[in-house]
Amino acid sequence: MNNKKVGKNVKKLIKENNISIEYVAQKIRIKTQKLENKIKGEEEFTAKEIVDLINLFEISSKQCSKIFFP
């Protein structure tokens, strides 16, 4: 997984949905700083976090592959 590309894609989703990083972190049950590190590409999203993001943003399977597996 390309951490930086995935982080950039998640950041774009957050921006497009006009919600805060803090809100997303709360919804996927991680600390805001941890999410920021993942968005920067410093850490990898776990499978559970990806599933939580898919549910939060109601991402289709086609979008999922583009966002999380570029």
Domains by residue range for the chain, with CATH: 3-62 (1.10.260.40)
φ/ψ of residue 59, rounded to 5 = -85, 135
Taking only the tens place, the pLDDT of each residue in 16-63 is 999 999 999 999 999 999 999 999 999 999 999 999 999 999 999 999
Going by C-alpha positions, the residue among 22, 36, 18, 29 that lies closest to residue 55 is 29
Per-residue pLDDT at 70 = 81
Looking at the chain, the number of H-run helices and the number of E-run strands are 5, 0
* Token couple for 13: 């989703």
Instruction: Read off the pTM.
Output: 0.92
